[in-house]
Amino acid sequence: MALEHTDGSAYRRAADYVAVALIFLRDNVLLREPLRAEHIKPRLLGHWGSCPGITMVYAALNALIRERDTDVLLVTGPGHGAPANHANLWLEGTHEEYDPALARNEAGLTELARRYCAPEGFPSHLSPAVPGTIHEGGELGYALATAFGAALDAPDRLVACIVGDGEAETGPTAAAWHSPKFLDPVTSGAVLPVLHLNGYKISSPTLFATMTDEELTHLFRGYGWDPRIVDVTGKPDGDPVADAVRDAHTAIRAIQTTARSGDRPARPAWPMIVLRSLKGQGAPEEADGKPLEGTFHTHQVPLESVHQDHRQLEALEAWLRSYRPQDLFDDDGRPSADVLATVPDGERRIGMQAAGDGGRLREPLDLPDLGPYAVDTPQGPGAHAASPNQVLAAWLTDVMHRTQDRRDFRIVSPDELASNKLDAVLAASKRACAWPVDEYAEDLAPDGRIMEILSEHNCQGWLQGYLQTGRHGLFPTYEAFAAIVESMVNQYGKWLKMSREVPWRAPVSSLTYLLTSEGWRQEHNGYSHQGPGFINNLLTKKGTVIGVYLPPDANTLLVTMERLLSETGRINAVVAGKQPAAQWLGLDDARRHCAAGASMWRWASTHDGDDPEVVLACAGTIPTVETLAAADMLRRDLPDARVRVVNIVDLCALATPERHPHGLHEADFADLFGHDTPVVLDFHGYPSAVQQLLHGRPRPERFHVRGYVEEGTTTTPYDLLISNGTSRHDLAVAALSRLRGRPAETGDLAEHYARRRDDLRRELRRTGVDPAEITQWSWPTG
C-alpha cells in the first residue's frame, strides 16, 4: 500500500469529544440543543485523565496501519481510560460490527453513552465485552508482560502497549521491561511500549513523570531499549506521536529484517516511546478556582458537581463545544469524511484485530497418546515407584516436538524446571534467551519455547497474552510461591467469567498451573515453603471457570494433563510430586478414576468396601500414601472393621452440581461416602478448602477433615505430617474413634497407635531422619 500521510487532528478531536460525552451525557450527545442538567448522567464514572493520550496513540497506530498495512494489536494498560477505547471503537465502526445498535450515527452514540457505566452495559474499565481487548487493565502492572505474550510466535504482529506512568511504578511492570531479552526477532513479532507520562496518579505525582529526559533515557537504555521521547504538553502542530510511531516501526522492521536474513543482532535495542502529555489534556484549565487540565484533578471525572453547579454545567458545555462537534458529525450524527479518512479498513481496524478474539485462532493441540508414557503396574498397586513429574516431562517433550512447526505451545516457569524434574523437555526446545550470555550456561536458544525468569508475574502475563491470542501453554511453579500471582488470577478469573457471557467471544485455552515442590515435601526448605493456600484462593472463583486436581500418582497426572491441555475457558491448578512415589493405578484405571473425579478403591478397602463403618478419604499424593498406610494398619490390627477407602482426584467433585459443574450428583456422592457414615478425609491443603466445598451436602459435620494447619519447620517429612495431625497414625486414631459399638477394642488400639507415633517422633528427632517403618512401607501385595 502506498504511503499516505493524513492529518489526524479531526479524528483526535472527534475521539476526545466522544470520550467526554460517554462520561457525562445520557442524552443530547451531539449538543443539538443547549446542555441542560437532565442531559447529564445521574452517576458520573470513568477516568478522563488518560483518555487524550490513549487517543493520540490509537490515532497514530491507525495512521501506521493505513500507510504500511501493519498487523496491530493494542494492549491498554490504563484500563480505566476505557472511554477513549470506546470512542475509537465507535469511530472506526467496530462497535457497530458487533452490535448494530451502536451504529455510527446519533442514535448509536446515544446508545453507547447510555450503556457506558450502566447496569448490564460497559464497565468503567476495559472488559471482555470490548472488541479487540485481551487485557482488562483494571489492576495495574500487567499490561506489558501480557503484550509480550501476545507477540510470541506471531512474527507479523505488532503489539502496541500503552503503559500508564502510575502502572509503571509497579513491580510487575518493572520486571516486564526485561521481556525483550526473551523475544526472538525471527520467530516472534514485536512489542512497541508507549510509556504515557501525564504526570499524576489519583492525587499525587507519578515517579516517572518527575524524571528528566536524560534520566529516563539512561534507565530504559539500561534495560536494553531504544527510547524516543515525545513531548506534546505544548500542544504542537501536526502529529508528533504518529511520527514517532512510524520511526519506531521502521526500527522494528530493520531489526526483524536483519535477523530473518540470518544475521541476528546480539543485543537488539527495540524502540519504545515515552509520551509526555498533560493530564486530562483538553479539559477546562480551571473550575471554581481549582486547576484542572494538567493536574490530578482530571484523573477521574472533572466537574464532578455539574448536576448542582450551574457554572460547572456551563464549563462542561464549553468544554464539549471546544471540539467543534458540528464540524465532526453530519446531520445524522455520522462521523465526517475528515474523521473517517484516518480509519483503517475492514479487518485491519484495531478493534477487529483477529488476535483480540484469540479463541477464533485457536487450534487443538496435537497431543500424543499416553500409552507409551504410562507406568505399568503388573504387580499391583504400589509395587512400582515413579516420579510423576518425570513421567509427565517425557510426555510433554513429545508435545513440544509435535508443536515445533506450529509454535503454539510454551512452558513458562520461574527458573524451576530442573528443580521440579521437568527438564527433560529441554530435549525438544531450549530456554528462550535472545541476548548473548558470557558465562557458562546450558540449553539456551533465541527461538526457545521454554521461558524461565524469576518473576512469577512475568510468567503469568506472558502466558495470559499467549493464551488470549489463541495458543496453549503450561505454568509449572513451586506450590508455595504460586500465591505471588493470586491477584492476577483474581483478575483473570473475572475475565474468563465475563467472557462466557459475551456471545461473540470464542473460548481460549485454559490456563493450567502445575503446582509442584509441594508443601509436604518442603520440610528441608522450611516453613516458608510450606504453603498450599493457592487452592483456597482459586476456590473463591466461579465454579464454571476453575478446577483443582490432585492426581495421586504418575498415571493420573498424565490423564489429568491430557484433559486440561485440551479444554478451554478455565484456570486449573494441578498439584503433583516430583520425587519417586508409589504408582497406584494402571492407565485404564487412571482414566476411569479421573473421569469419575473420585472413586472407591476396593482393593484398599476391607470387605470389598461394602457397608462401611468408616470411610477413609484422601486427596493428594502424600495424603493418599498416609491414608493407605492407615487402612493397612487397621486391616492388620482390626480385620473385622469395615473400612472403605475413597480417593479424590478432582477436588471440585465434592461440591454440589449447583456450585460446580464437576460436582458429584447426590446419588453418586452417597455411593462413595454413604448417608450417615463418618468420614475421615486427609487433604493436601488447608482443611477449610474441603469444608467450603462440602457446604450444601447432607450432614457435612460427619466429615472430619485433616490437612495443613500452619505447623511446620525444617524437619523430616513424617515429623511435618505429625505436626499437622495428618500422619497415618493420626488418621488411624481418628478412624477408630468413629467406629461405633466397640469402644474397649478401639480405645486400646488407638492408644497403641498414639504411643507408637510419639515414639517414632522422638526417634526421628534424635536421628534427623524418618525411620524405615515409615520410609520403606509399601502396600502389601498378594
Dump pLDDT digits (tens) for 607-634: 999 999 999 999 999 999 999 999 999 9
Mean pLDDT along residues 33-59: 95
Confidence of residue 501 (pLDDT cuts 50, 70, 90): very high
Q: Longest Cα pair distance anywhere in the chain, in angstroms?
A: 95
Q: Which range has the worst mean pLDDT, 168-177, 259-268, 289-298?
A: 289-298
CATH topology of domain 606-650+664-775: Rossmann fold (3.40.50)
Of 541, 569, 551, 555, the closest CA to residue 655 belongs to: 541
Confidence of residue 167 (pLDDT cuts 50, 70, 90): very high
Query: What pLDDT score does 7 carry?
Result: 62
The total of other beta-carbon atoms located within 10 Å of residue 442's CB is 9
Confidence of residue 366 (pLDDT cuts 50, 70, 90): very high
Mean pLDDT along residues 411-427: 94
Average per-residue pLDDT for the chain: 95
CATH number of 371-575: 3.40.50.970
CATH 3.40.50.970 occupies which residues in the chain? Answer: 11-286+305-353, 371-575
Confidence of residue 5 (pLDDT cuts 50, 70, 90): very low
In which residue are the cell numbers 519504545 written? 272
What letter represents residue 423's amino acid? D
User: pTM (2 decimals)?
Assistant: 0.96
Mean pLDDT along residues 523-547: 92
Share of the chain above pLDDT 90, in %: 90
Buried b (16+ CB within 10 A) or exposed e, 662-691: bbbeeebbeebbbeebbbbbbbbbbbbbbb
Query: What pLDDT score does 4 carry?
Result: 40
pLDDT above 60 for 639: yes
Query: What pLDDT score does 675 carry?
Result: 95
Confidence of residue 742 (pLDDT cuts 50, 70, 90): confident
pLDDT above 50 for 407: yes
CATH 3.40.50.920 occupies which residues in the chain? Answer: 606-650+664-775
Beta pairing class for 614-619 and 643-648: parallel
Question: Could you tell me the CATH superfamily of domain 11-286+305-353?
Answer: Thiamin diphosphate (ThDP)-binding fold, Pyr/PP domains (3.40.50.970)
Alpha helices, H only, 329-421: 337-340, 388-402
Of 390, 388, 370, 378, the closest CA to residue 586 belongs to: 378
CA distances from 143 to 156, 461, 584 (A): 20, 8, 44
